[in-house]
């Protein structure tokens, strides 16, 4: 998807943040082995209450927060409600991280308002070691800090999306997937990679295993946003049920069992390091935060509230 804004040039991206903005501006929508479905979809609705329930989740949280997705900054979050601003005017689009590193795509003036991969170091955003100021977006890091990111080449309507992998130890960059419908990727369990393709017939997901074998998954929905994949096996994705409108629900899909479940009124942000909980935010305002247990995908527990603005993206790191 290409975001169009007078003050910013952004490459094609599958990120939830970009999709939310495009929907809000009523821009045209993006065009990203059979799976087994052993159970019908389940649906629940969020509570109208914002009161925090139970203890705060364990871990460190960093988030993209702001009133506008095209003008948001990076915050360190201490639940339930402390949001410490770490950047000012950085135009952060997406955020990722591992135990020792937080990486964002941000489009500051010095980078020509183009999404550029940067690391948070000593309270400042700086180019990544061994990579430099790489124009890319949607960073996703696995536990050993290997980085997946997206790049787009060409111009509309002839753009090509490429998912790249950066080896943190050597700095080597390799292509994982490329094509006119490739829209993003996420790490999965055991070194697997999930690639999102937006085909004319609807979104498709390719599971790429370390041995090179692949499995295609069909979400069977009009469009999806970001696709975080947990150690517990569940893929969570924001669902766009209506063209030109923001997403309103989360679809859970287990590629091993074929199980599906739907959580209405909430959108996915980040899985816990153990993969047993998903941080979500309400679909209406994006200021209420909750967690969903992987063992019960039909129930949310409110854990925080943002008074700094909408929480567009987040990463959940070990404590």
Q: What is the pLDDT of residues 243-286, one digit of tens each?
A: 889 999 999 999 999 999 999 999 999 999 999 999 999 999 99
Question: Residue written as tokens 């955020």?
Answer: 95
More confident residue, 300 or 133: 300
pLDDT at residue 23 tops 70: no
Measured in residues, the chain has a length of 319
How far apart are the C-alpha atoms of 136 and 144, rounded to whole Å?
A: 20
More confident residue, 12 or 233: 233
**What is the three-class DSSP state of 71?**
helix
Residue 95: the pLDDT is: 98
Longest dimension (CA), the chain: 51
pLDDT at residue 34 tops 90: no
How far apart are the C-alpha atoms of 286 and 172, rounded to whole Å?
A: 37
Q: What percent of the chain has pLDDT over 70?
A: 84
Supply the range of the domain harboring residue 47. Answer: 4-317
Which CATH number belongs to the domain containing residue 267 in this structure? 2.120.10.30
Token pair, residue 29, equals: 């929508």
7 burial (CB, 10 Å; 0-12 / 13-18 / 19+) is: exposed
Calculate mean pLDDT across residues 307-314.
97
User: Would you give the distance in Å from CA 302 to the centre of its chain?
Assistant: 20
pLDDT tens for 183-229 read 999 999 999 999 999 999 999 999 999 999 999 999 999 999 989 99
**Cis peptide upstream of residue 157 (ω within 30 degrees of 0):** yes
Number of structural domains the chain divides into: 1
Element (H, E) at 24: helix 16-24
- Comparing CA positions, the residue from 230, 137, 141 lying closest to residue 184 is 137
**What is the three-class DSSP state of 63?**
strand
């Amino acid at each position: 998807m290409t975001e169009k804004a007078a003050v910013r040039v952004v490459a094609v991206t599958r990120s939830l943040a970009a999709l939310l903005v495009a929907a809000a501006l009523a821009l045209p929508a993006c065009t990203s082995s059979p799976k087994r479905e052993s159970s019908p979809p389940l649906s629940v609705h969020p509570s109208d209450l914002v009161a925090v329930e139970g203890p705060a989740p364990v871990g460190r949280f960093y988030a993209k927060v702001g009133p506008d997705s095209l003008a948001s900054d990076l915050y360190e979050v201490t639940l339930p409600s402390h949001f410490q601003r770490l950047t000012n005017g950085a135009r952060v689009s997406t955020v990722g991280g591992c135990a020792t590193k937080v990486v964002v795509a941000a489009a500051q003036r010095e980078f020509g308002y183009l999404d550029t991969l940067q690391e948070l170091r000593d309270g400042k955003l700086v180019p990544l070691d061994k990579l430099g100021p790489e124009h890319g977006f949607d960073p996703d890091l696995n536990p050993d800090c290997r980085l997946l990111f997206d790049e787009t080449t060409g111009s509309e309507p002839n753009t090509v999306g490429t998912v790249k992998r950066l080896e943190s130890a050597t700095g080597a960059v390799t292509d994982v997937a490329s094509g006119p419908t490739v829209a993003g990727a996420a790490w999965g369990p055991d070194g697997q990679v999930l690639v999102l393709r937006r085909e004319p017939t609807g979104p498709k997901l390719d599971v790429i295993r370390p041995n090179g074998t692949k499995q295609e998954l069909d979400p069977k929905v009009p469009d999806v946003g970001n696709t975080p994949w947990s150690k517990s096996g569940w893929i969570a994705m924001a669902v766009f049920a209506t063209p030109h409108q923001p997403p309103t629900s989360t679809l859970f899909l287990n590629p091993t069992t074929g199980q599906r479940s739907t959580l209405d009124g909430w959108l996915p942000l980040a899985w816990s390091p153990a993969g047993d909980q998903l941080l979500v935010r309400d679909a209406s305002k994006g200021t209420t935060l909750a967690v969903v247990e992987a063992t019960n995908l039909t129930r949310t527990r409110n854990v925080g509230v943002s008074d700094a603005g909408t929480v567009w993206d987040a990463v959940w790191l070990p404590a």
